[in-house]
Amino acid sequence: MKINPHGSENSALQALIRQIRLVAFDFDGVFTDNMVYVFQDGSEAVKCYRGDGLGLQKLQRLGIETIIISTESNPVVSARARKLQVRCLQDCRDKLQTLENIARELGMALAEISFVGNDINDAACLASVGLPIVVQDAHRDVLPLALYRTSAPGGHGAVREVCDLFATILPAGGA
């Protein structure tokens, strides 16, 4: 079942969101537009949406945990996560195993987790969590796995959109 927050499935989406205790995000293609600038010294830079930080603060105020899980190990990801004050795990060859370990550490079930992804390396997580979300420009192979697809593409406010969605449904002060 695909869920449209403005459609008749709104109550189903609200019920799913009320169960979520952790939102896990991929980084490249979710926080970014999936593009990378490579400088001649080999260093990299990416473009991120500034409004994501305010959205993540909303989730924190709602009592929702957040984490970034990235396949790559990249100082740019670490720097952005530090600035956003979001826990970040990198160099995760098996994102689902990483997510299962986090769930165990936090004492929650995968059904209490939402994962936001964009490509095939996110497929196992998307297929296993309570609320799988993809960004608007996600790869076609993961679209069938999502219950919600953002209207914003990755790096252009998709993270903020997810955070705002939760904030419109959950009561202030926690779920």
Q: What's the pTM value of the predicted model, to 2 decimals?
A: 0.92
| pLDDT exceeds cutoff 70 at 5 | no
The tens digit of pLDDT for each residue in 108-145 reads 999 999 999 999 999 999 999 999 999 999 999 999 99
Say if residue 47's pLDDT is above 60: yes
Residue 8 or 16, more confident: 16
pLDDT at 9: 55
Average pLDDT in the 151-166 region?
97
The DSSP result for 54-114, as a single string, is: HHHHHHHHTT-EEEEE-SS--HHHHHHHHHHT-EEE---S-HHHHHHHHHHHHT--GGGEE
- Of the pLDDT bands very low, low, confident and very high (cuts 50, 70, 90), residue 10 is confident
Per residue in 11-30, pLDDT (tens digit) is 889 999 999 999 999 999 99
d(Cα 96, Cα 55) in Å, to the nearest integer?
25
What structural domains does the chain harbor? 10-168 (3.40.50.1000)
pLDDT cut 90: percent of the chain above it: 88
Q: Is the pLDDT of residue 8 over 50?
A: no
